[in-house]
């Protein structure tokens, strides 16, 4: 545990992490914040003991948003610390059967596809709520998977620039497929050809944060093989999921540079958009996904886009975590909803001052969209939540230049 000791000892218990931790903002418990978890781990590691049930509870009460790292003056690598601790718990057999099943389900295409297929059979129009023991939230009804909706290559329209490989991730591939289609359409209009490889698997971030490093490495190796097959055909790998982008940028050794869609549009393509003549400029606020702003340092690009196509305004708490955290929203559902309620109140206050009906909350991560939509609906706040790609397609005049 020498490496863990060195990492833990970087923390001087200053408490800066308390200002940004979404869990602490809800529970007010010291064990919920980074410095509290570090204090607990220091005592347990040095005693070389198994984690108690109470310790496991505190370890599980982390969204892995990285907000603590973002503000830490000592650069304490807390996400690495929490991943190592959860890996120890997994090795000691201290992981629930339900979490094991969930991780196994998303590690392969068949499991996710089967779950999405089951979802399509359940009733629901604009949305549905899964009444399962661990899940009590509104989610959109899955449509057909992206595999059946798009070809392996979509050629550019008009002036050709270059080709990219699109890594949709699980949510875009099976749940938010319209957004994925819109991304391909948008890039084609801007002269970019888009490859899709349906042999890709989950990015592995849920497994990594759960401590299942073995499965993560297997998924990483598989995906890197699919990426390598395209390295002579493409200029970039592109994603529109903040979590996938963060996982690939910070944990993979990629054969080709990866960019978030906002980076590609603004920094590379220098894209500018003309508003459709029959569309009024919507009032927008942007929620910064933790794994986009805090882990990829992408903040100005989506704001620049929204300033061009809408009446954009800064939102108080725009960088406050929504509380999704993947499996955190399932296995720590009550806490996840508590964080979501705080975020919903911030959104409500932000839009209360606009006085205009056409209001849209925009973000750039499917997980955030799911969580924010559910949080707003539960709190009776009627503001649609859309991915920035969908907003561009909906409000912009088509261009093939």
Q: What is the DSSP string of 130-178?
A: ---SS--SEEPPP-S-GGGTS-SEE---SS--EEEEE--HHHHHHT-HH
* pLDDT, mean of each 10-residue run, the chain (401 residues): 75 94 94 92 80 89 94 94 92 84 72 49 47 59 86 95 97 94 97 97 93 94 97 97 96 97 98 83 95 96 95 94 91 93 95 78 97 94 96 80 53
- Quick count: other Cβ atoms within 10 Å of Cβ 225? 13
Instruction: Return the pLDDT at 180.
Output: 97
How many C-beta atoms surround the C-beta of residue 129 within 10 A? 15
Give residue 359's pLDDT. 92
Q: CB–CB of 132/118 below 8 Å?
A: no
Which CATH code fits 2-91? 1.10.1060.10
Identify the sign of the CA torsion 27, 29, 35, 39.
Answer: negative
Q: Supply the pLDDT for residue 75.
A: 92
Residue 106, sorted as left (phi over 0), alpha (psi -120 to 50) or beta, turns out to be alpha
Taking the alpha carbons of 136, 140, 141, 142 in that order, is the dihedral positive or negative?
negative
Give the helix ranges, DSSP H, for 210-360: 213-228, 242-251, 261-263, 290-296, 300-309, 328-331, 333-352
- DSSP code string of 47-97: HT-PPPHHHHHHHHS-----HHHHH-TT---HHHHHHHHHHHHHHTT-S-H
Nearby residues of 101 by Cβ (< 8 Å), 6 or more positions away: none
pLDDT of residue 239: 98
- Cβ proximity of 85 and 95 under 8 Å: no
Domain ranges of the chain: 2-91, 283-395
């Amino acid at each position: 545990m020498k490496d863990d000791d060195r990492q833990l000892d970087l923390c001087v218990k200053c408490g800066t992490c308390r200002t940004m931790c979404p869990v602490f903002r809800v529970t007010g418990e010291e064990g919920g914040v980074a410095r509290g978890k570090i204090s607990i781990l220091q005592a347990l590691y040095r005693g070389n003991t198994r984690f108690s049930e109470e310790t496991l509870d505190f370890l599980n009460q982390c969204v892995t948003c990285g907000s603590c790292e973002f503000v830490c003056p000592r650069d304490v690598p807390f996400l690495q610390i929490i991943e190592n601790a959860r890996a120890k718990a997994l090795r000691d057999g201290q992981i629930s059967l339900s979490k094991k099943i969930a991780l196994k389900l998303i590690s392969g295409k068949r499991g996710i596809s089967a779950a999405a297929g089951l979802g399509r059979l359940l009733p629901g129009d604009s949305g549905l709520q899964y009444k399962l023991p661990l899940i009590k939230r509104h989610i959109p009804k899955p449509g057909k998977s992206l595999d059946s909706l798009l070809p392996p290559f979509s050629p550019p329209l008009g002036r050709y620039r270059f080709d990219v490989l699109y890594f949709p991730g699980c949510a875009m591939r099976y749940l938010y497929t319209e957004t994925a289609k819109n991304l391909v359409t948008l890039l084609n209009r801007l002269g970019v050809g888009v490859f899709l490889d349906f042999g890709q698997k989950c990015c592995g971030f849920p497994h990594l944060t759960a401590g299942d490093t073995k499965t993560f490495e297997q998924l990483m190796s598989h995906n890197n093989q699919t990426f390598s097959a395209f390295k002579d055909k493409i200029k970039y790998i592109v994603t529109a999921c903040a979590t996938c982008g963060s996982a690939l940028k910070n944990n993979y050794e990629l054969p080709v540079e990866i960019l978030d869609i906002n980076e590609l549009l603004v920094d590379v393509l220098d894209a500018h958009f003309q508003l459709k003549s029959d569309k009024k400029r919507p009032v927008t606020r942007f929620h910064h996904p933790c794994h986009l702003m805090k882990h990829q340092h992408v903040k100005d690009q989506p704001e620049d886009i929204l300033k061009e196509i809408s009446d954009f305004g800064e939102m108080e708490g725009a960088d406050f975590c929504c509380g999704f955290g993947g499996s955190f929203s399932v296995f720590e559902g009550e806490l996840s909803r508590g964080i979501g309620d705080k975020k919903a109140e911030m959104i409500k206050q932000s839009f209360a001052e606009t006085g205009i009906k056409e209001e849209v909350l925009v973000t750039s991560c499917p997980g955030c969209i799911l969580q924010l939509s559910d949080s707003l609906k539960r709190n009776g706040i009627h503001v649609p939540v859309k991915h920035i790609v969908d907003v561009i397609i909906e409000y912009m005049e088509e261009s093939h230049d």
